[in-house]
Amino acid sequence: MTQSDPSHSDLMNYLVRMVVPMRREFGRQLDVRHFLHDLEYAREVIQQALSSQDPRLLQYAKYVEDHHLGPRNASNVAAPRSADRAAAPAAPHTPNEVAPSANPTAEEMRERVLRKYTSGLR
């Protein structure tokens, strides 16, 4: 996802909108940059936001959950094939990388995503 990608700008828009309601209702300072790079932190924030009494915050949290924590970060229930297609071209680029398995685990998928970000393909 690039900076000019419309879905990225929508995601950022919703995250920024969540900052004030999260601080008001839960006393939590939402760190958007940390949210985008730490999956566990993102899940924790979304879980807390989904317990909100504020309908707007609930709407924002559901959107962010669907678009940031959606199929690519979910367990291998729904989309292992599309994930394999997206990850397959990356295999020849790094000589140390093991060929992707036919049915990757959630941990393998997370490692692929992290490798993409640490290899400078942003």
Cβ proximity of 20 and 56 under 8 Å: no
Average pLDDT, rounded, for the chain: 74
* pLDDT tens by residue, 39-85: 999 999 999 999 999 999 999 999 999 888 765 544 433 344 444 44
Q: What is the pLDDT of residue 22?
A: 94
Tell me the one-letter amino acid at 70: G
pTM over 0.75: no
**Position of tokens 């290899």?**
119
CA–CA gap between residue 46 and residue 121 (Å, rounded): 27
Q: What is the pLDDT of residue 106?
A: 79
